[in-house]
Amino acid sequence: AQTVTQSQPEMSVQEAETVTLSCTYDTSESDYYLFWYKQPPSRQMILVIRQEAYKQQNATENRFSVNFQKAAKSFSLKISDSQLGDAAMYFCAYGRNFGNEKLTFGTGTRLTIIP
């Protein structure tokens, strides 16, 4: 079974600084996707970024980028120029690349932005 581990229950960062959230996962599959979801106080699940396992290039979306280390099964999220609106719970998730498959989530990291 696949597992996703987020070892940082809470993180904080000064506004405009950079922060990195960690995620490790375990799978025997070779073809899969990894995701970072943001959950603000509204509780809505918002997809931040996704990475396809067969792509060596790290995904980027504006201020958000990932460091994907497939051999190490590590998938960290870097947020640059942190903004107050980035304050939220961040969940790492895994999905097998086999059409419609469930997502397996980590337990989340609560990110606080310090003005």
Partner 1 sequence: DSGVTQTPKHLITATGQRVTLRCSPRSGDLSVYWYQQSLDQGLQFLIQYYNGEERAKGNILERFSAQQFPDLHSELNLSSLELGDSALYFCASSVDHGSSYNEQFFGPGTRLTVL
Residue from 43, 57, 71, 72 touching partner 1 (CB under 8 A): that is 43
Residue 108 binding partner 1, by CB under 8 A: yes
Q: x/- site string to partner 1, residues 1 to 40, per CB under 8 A?
A: ---x----------------------------x-------
> DSSP assignment, residue 86?
G
Please answer whether residues 59 and 50 qualify as being in contact, where contact means their C-beta atoms are separated by less than 8 angstroms.
Answer: yes
Please answer whether residues 107 and 98 qualify as being in contact, where contact means their C-beta atoms are separated by less than 8 angstroms.
Answer: no
Residue from 8, 20, 24, 45 touching partner 1 (CB under 8 A): that is 45
CB count in 10 Å sphere of residue 96:
16
Minimum distance from CB of 16 to partner 1 (Å)? 27
